[in-house]
Amino acid sequence: MDPAAAITELLRWDTPTLYNGWEQVTAHDFATTGFNLEPVADFLPSAGMIGGFAVTVTIQPSSPRYATNAGERWSGYRKYVAAAAGPKVVVVQDLDKPNLYGSFWGEVNGSVHTALECAGSITDGGVRDLGPLEQIGFKVVARRACVGHAHVAPVDWNVPVEVFGVPVRPGDAVFADRHGVLAIPAEDLAALPAAVAYMDDAERSTIIAAARDLSGGVAERFDRIEDGAARFREVVRGRFGRTGEF
């Protein structure tokens, strides 16, 4: 499947559902990599999940040295974002971490990046102007809210970054919602939509269906659940050659 089409198809799910499919098709260690290792805050949960190809930038709002040629930096960065393939998610690494002095995101940058066809952002820095961002519909998954912008300006862009313990390269497929962040390796993306749909159907038609049937007593329900779990393991093993989590 075309990568952009794969992302569009995946946007109808959420990050835990994507993870359930990803663990079946990846050769990577799905137990310890690919997802955030630190808490995140979703500042527009009603928007659901955002996903796209990562456009990356680092910031250091505490340092005034990047403000000396801020106009040139902003223009160069925006040119990079505008030229990047969509759908796009902006991944911002705050080099001041664990401190937080100022936000990259607010009403102005949210408006600019919306115009440049970015779906939203993942940042281990801050976010402000929450009301205007909600009106724009620009979703930011961040560390926390803050008041000011300090000396914020792009430091480097189109570079590998790390946010919430997740390494992200420019062009990686990234997804985020109220559950957290998931970065999908390029080699896993094409197979992911079918795997996600299969795993979701497998759960719902076996163990979930059994658990939601509240007829009979507890002993009868237990038997149905055990049968559903066994059928779930069987259909997952038959498709992917490995068992499911139940």
List, for residues 114-131, the tens digit of each pLDDT value. 999 999 999 999 999 999
The residues, ordered by sequence, that sit 6+ positions from 159 with a Cβ below 8 Å of its Cβ are 56, 57, 58, 170
For 56, the enclosing helix (H) or strand (E) is strand 50-59
Taking residues 169-198, report their average pLDDT: 97
CATH, range 34-185: 3.50.30.40
What is the reported pLDDT for 178? 96
Relative to beta strand 118-123, strand 103-105 is unpaired
Helix 192-203 × helix 15-25 angle, to 10°: 110
What is the reported pLDDT for 67? 84
Q: Above 70 in pLDDT, residue 212?
A: yes
Domain boundaries, the chain: 34-185, 193-240
What is the reported pLDDT for 244? 67
What is the reported pLDDT for 19? 97
